[in-house]
Amino acid sequence: MDSLLIYGSYGYTGRLVAREAVSRGGAPAIAGRDDEAVVRQADDLGVEGRSFDLGSADLPARIGEFDAVLNCAGPFADTAVPLVDACLETGTDYLDITGEVPVFERLRRRDEAARSAGVTLLPGVGFDVVPSDCLAAFLHEHLPSADELALGVDGALSFSRGTARTLVEQFGRGIVRQNGRLVEVPVAYRSREIDFGSGPKPAVTVPWPDVVTAAHTTGIETVEVYAAVPGRAKPVLPIADALGWLVERRPIERLVKRAIDRAFDGPDGRELATGTATVWGEVRETDTGRTARGRVRTPNPYSLTAESAVSAAERVLAGDARIRAGFQTPANAFGSEFVLDLAGTSRELVEVPSDEDRTKLERSVAEGGE
């Protein structure tokens, strides 16, 4: 990993990623805007540190000597585009750990430019969206004719400052994919009961980035993502939609973010070591009702992000045969098994089409049916 630059390395998640890279024997360069923070971290890790702003006119020259950039600096709505522009100019592969829907959509639209430049654009190589993307691909392999996808996430989690700030920016907004279109919807637009492994739990729709990535991975054009919520919290969720306009006012947003900076610092060491999350998925063929369901269990999302981001960067730098130029998702780039290569993960099939269903499908395909 001597040809890797980690930008935003001194934030909560960036520190975990940089430490993971060095623990594997790599010597990535680290970078960010805060010179003092970069120098302190570089000395601690024994790696090269660089400080520069993404608005620098010489940004391409600063990253051009690297084979890949791993962006850990949020909000990614501000950092992804200038870094991607520089990567396209210099032929540098780009990865990040974003979970912001607009960022995925913007980078997806750069696919043709990235192909022309011979550059891989691989956002979302953390908990957002590695487990869910790999699960979506896995379930689609079991039911290739599916035309609807639902995903769900469950876990009692502490947030880093960066994650909490991003959530504030998304406050009062929802998004789903319907028949190939991204549609803005109210918070908790839909609800359903989901069994994450210990019985049904109430869950509501959330603006998770799989509405972009899973559609790209599987070709399924109707996608919804849910998050488990305590039953007592469900009745008050619509208030978030009503208050969304208030948080969007800049003075209020600044106040909220200052409060976040005082209150949030991410999971402590114990939670990183012991925390878990579960991702649930369902693909469905609407004409027949045939369904495949499964679950992926993971360690703490921040722990998984550190390992998955570094593993992804290693594979990109090594020239993994599956990786191509252009916009990629984790499951596109590495296959549905990628998540199982990460420590502490497991996967189970809960429901698949019956053998009789499979036989009928194979006969239909052989006879030229739909």
Considering the domain architecture, whether residues 121 and 46 belong to the same structural domain is answered as yes
**Please, what is the average pLDDT of the chain?**
86
* Beta strands 68-71 and 4-7, pairing class: parallel
The Cα 209–Cα 32 span in angstroms is 25
Contact criterion met (CB below 8 Å) for 173 and 254 = no
- What is the pLDDT at residue 198? 93
Share of the chain above pLDDT 90, in %: 71
Same domain, 140 and 268: yes
CATH of the domain at 33: 3.40.50.720
Write down the pLDDT at residue 158. Answer: 56
What is the rounded average pLDDT of the residues 325-350? 97
Q: Is the pLDDT of residue 189 over 90?
A: no
Q: At a CB cut-off of 8 Å and minimum separation 6, what does 36 contact? A: none
Q: Could you check whether the bond before residue 123 is cis, i.e. omega within 30 degrees of 0?
A: no
Higher-confidence position of 337 and 160:
337
**Same-domain check for residues 87 and 234:** no
Task: Provide CB contacts within 8 A for 231, sequence distance 6+.
Answer: 202
Highest mean pLDDT among 19-23, 205-209, 357-361: 19-23
Residue 361 confidence (pLDDT) above 70? no
Answer whether residue 55 is part of any domain: yes
Residue 349's pLDDT band, with cuts at 50, 70 and 90, is very high
278 and 208, same structural domain? yes
b/e code 317-353 from CB counts within 10 Å (16+ = b): beeeeebebbbbbbbbbbbbebbeebeebebeeeebb
pLDDT score at 326: 98
Residue 140 placed within a domain: yes
If asked whether residues 318 and 273 sit together in one domain, one would say no
Residues 272 and 322 in one domain: no
Residue 368, domain member (yes or no): no
Give strand pairing partners of 283: 149, 292
Average pLDDT over residues 223-229: 93
Domain co-membership, 170 together with 271: yes
Q: Does residue 293 share a domain with residue 320?
A: no
pLDDT digits (tens, 9 = 90+) for 165-181: 444 455 457 899 999 99
89: in domain: yes
Q: Are residues 76 and 137 in the same domain?
A: no
- Cα 122 to Cα 125: distance, rounded to the nearest angstrom: 7
| pLDDT (0 to 100) of residue 255 | 45
pLDDT tens digit sequence for 261-302 = 454 466 788 888 889 999 999 999 999 999 999 999 999 999
Quote the pLDDT of residue 229. 85
Residue 80: which residues within 8 A CB-CB, separation 6 or more?
71, 96, 98, 103, 106, 107, 123
Please tell me the number of Cα atoms within 13 Å of 11 on its side-chain side: 25
156/111 same-domain check: no
In a domain, residue 365? The reply is: no
- pLDDT (tens digit, 9 = 90+) per residue, 39-93? 999 999 999 999 999 999 999 999 999 999 999 999 999 999 999 999 999 999 9
pLDDT digits (tens, 9 = 90+) for 131-141: 999 999 999 99
Q: Is residue 175 part of a domain?
A: yes
CA angle 24, 99, 273 (to 5 degrees): 45
**Is residue 57 domain-shared with residue 117, that is, in the same domain?**
yes
> pLDDT band for position 244 (50/70/90)?
very low
Does 296 fall in a domain?
yes
**Co-location of 285 and 315 in the same domain:** no
Classify residue 34: in a domain, yes or no.
Answer: yes
Instruction: Give residue 269's pLDDT.
Output: 82
Residue 277 sits in a domain whose CATH number is 3.30.360.10
CB 309 within 8 A of CB 111: no
- Residue 159 sits in which domain range? 130-301+343-351
Q: Which two tokens stand for residue 213?
A: 């990535």
Which pLDDT value is given to residue 362? 45
Number of domains within the chain? 2
- The CB density around residue 356, as the number of other CB atoms within 10 Å, is 8
Q: What is the mean pLDDT of residues 346-360?
A: 75
